[in-house]
Amino acid sequence: KAGVTQTPRYLIKTRGQQVTLSCSPISGHRSVSWYQQTPGQGLQFLFEYFSETQRNKGNFPGRFSGRQFSNSRSEMNVSTLELGDSALYLCASSPPDRVGLGYTFGSGTRLTVV
């Protein structure tokens, strides 16, 4: 069964630009979560979507947003990019209402802001 697919794998953007990242969860998984991973801060929770609704949000500025489509695919958008947004962005999916059993992560999108 296909895993969690994230596109693109790598991105280089300039400060001030915006970026959209995509995530397709495992078939049948309706919960999609996004995390930012940096060497200093580790994995930090951005937001979680379930049935096209944002259920949970981390402590990130409003420049970070997301959405989920009816087929459970999710996108996250970062506007007005800053150098500090350079990170690995990970998407994770889990079966409906079973985060308690742990996520499956995608391979991530490595974003570099120059």
Residues forming contacts to another protein in the complex (CB under 8 A) are 31, 33, 35, 41-45, 48, 50, 55-56, 58, 90, 97, 99-108
State the minimum distance, in angstroms, from the CB of residue 44 to another protein: 8
Q: Between 14 and 84, name the residue whose CB sits nearer to another protein.
A: 84
Report the residue number, 3 or 16, with the smaller CB distance to another protein.
3
Min CB(71)–another protein separation in Å: 19
Based on the number of CB atoms within 10 Å of its own CB, is 21 exposed (0-12), middle (13-18) or buried (19 or more)?
buried
Chain centroid to CA 50: how far? 13
- 49, with CB counted inside 10 A (0-12, 13-18, 19+), is buried
